[in-house]
Amino acid sequence: MSAFHKMIATVKSALERAPRAVPAHAAAASPVVPVAHDARRTELLAQFARELEAVGGAFLGAFAPDDIRARTVALARQIGARTAAIGAGVTLDSDPIARALEQAGVAVIRPPSVRGAAGPDDAARAAYRERLAGCDLGIVEADAAIAATGTLAVVGAPDRPNSLTLLPPSNLIIIHADRMRPDLAAAVAGIGAETFIAKRVALITGPSRTADIEKMIVLGVHGPKKLYAIAIWPNEA
């Protein structure tokens, strides 16, 4: 064995005995790529918030998944909601939100159980619709959002009916920050043709509005008068 090999072996065993020292600059969690990702996410969210407010909506901010509950309860208190209807989440489990609302004294309307081949019968559907029409706040998670226009794309499903964003006078729409798309084309492509075929999709840009009287803008004609959006900011893995 040459001297060289001997030296390598010594160095190797030395390295194995003591843990590798980490250089100071490598200790920071995120190198270049994740930082850019965060910056992009922030930028899109900021643009979304600006555009949403420009069309009369309100952006409540971005929160960690666990903090969405508290902010939702705070909103319900703020607008004096006594009843709230909630649909199943997309990335988030809506049950904890519903329970938090109930603890705060808000009656929560959940979609009737849709298990079974036939789904809900006419009576169940009519009863649900009646309750929706009388409730104060509809809460639903969007599938995608468009930063350039302040738009939320809500995809209907049996446990996330369309009427949730239509009948209640106020709406809270939750959107995961990673589902923010820069523009319409990207959002439509992201949702995908299959979804458009199988489900109802509504792109929602602000509260319901009209300009039918002398071209003056009035909010809340047939749909919600108030539209709130809240973003989920994911915890870093």
Partner 1 sequence: MATPDAAPAPDFLETSRKGVADTDLRRKLENSTGRHLDHVAHMRGEFPRYDDERDAARRIKEDAIGRLDELLIILKQKLEANGCNVFVAADAAEARDYILQVAKKAGSQRVVKGKSMTTEEIDLNPALERAGMKVVETDLGEYIVQLRRERPSHIITPAIHLSKEDIGQLFAEQLGIPYSAEPEVLTAAARERLRSIFLGADLGITGVNFAIAETGSLVLIENEGNGRLTSTLPETFIAVMGIEKVIPQLTDLSHFLEILARTGTGQKLTTYTNFISGPRRDGELDGPRAMHVVILDNGRSAMLADPVMREALYCLRCGACLNVCPVYRRIGGHAYNSPYPGPIGSIVSPNLFGSAAAKLPFASTLCGACRDICPVKIDIPRILLHLRWKANVTEPPIKWSADARRARAGVRRFARMARYPRSFRLLSRLGGLMLRPLTRDGYLRRMPGPFKNWTRWGRDFPAPGARRKETRGETVNASATQRPE
How many beta carbons lie within 10 A of that of residue 169, not counting itself?
18
Residue with tokens 């929560």: 108
Residue 166 contacts partner 1 per CB under 8 A = yes
Stretch in the footprint of partner 1 (CB under 8 A) among 3-11, 32-40, 72-80, 143-151: 143-151
What distance in Å separates the CA atoms of residue 59 and residue 180, rounded to the nearest whole number? Answer: 14
CB of 107 to partner 1, least distance (A): 18
Contacts for 144 with CB less than 8 Å, ≥ 6 apart: 152, 153, 175, 179, 180, 181, 187, 190, 191
The piece of 25-33, 75-83, 91-99, 158-166 that touches partner 1 (CB under 8 A) is 158-166
86 HSE (CA, 13 A, CB side):
25
Q: Do 205 and 151 contact (CB within 8 A), yes or no?
A: yes
Instruction: Determine, following the binding rule CB under 8 A, whether residue 112 of this chain makes contact with partner 1.
Output: yes
* Distance of alpha carbon 20 from alpha carbon 8, whole angstroms: 16
At its nearest, how many Å lie between partner 1 and the CB of residue 68? 24
Task: Verify binding: residue 171, partner 1, rule CB under 8 A.
Answer: no
Segment 33-92, which members bind partner 1 (CB under 8 A)? Answer: 51, 55
By CB under 8 A, the count of residues binding partner 1 is 57
Q: Cβ closer to partner 1: 89 or 156?
A: 156
- Distance, in Å, from the CA atom of 169 to the CA atom of 221, rounded to the nearest integer, reads 10
For residue 223, the 8-state DSSP code is S
The H-assigned helical ranges of 108-174 are: 122-134
Is residue 29 a contact point for partner 1 (CB under 8 A)? no
209 binds partner 1 (CB under 8 A): yes
Number of residues in the chain: 237
Q: Please, which residue, 8 or 133, has the CB nearer to partner 1?
A: 133
Binding status of residue 94 toward partner 1 by CB under 8 A: no
Task: Pick the closer one to partner 1 by CB: 142 or 232.
Answer: 142
Residue 196 to residues 53, 67, 189, 191, Cα–Cα distance (Å): 27, 32, 10, 8
Least distance in Å: CB of 86 to partner 1?
13
Among 90, 94, 120, 168, binds partner 1 (CB under 8 A): 120
Query: Taking CB under 8 A as the rule, does residue 190 contact partner 1?
Result: no
Note the residues at the interface with partner 1 (CB under 8 A): 51, 55, 111-112, 114, 117-120, 125, 128-129, 133, 146, 148-149, 151, 156-158, 161-163, 166, 183-185, 188-189, 193, 196-216, 218, 220-224
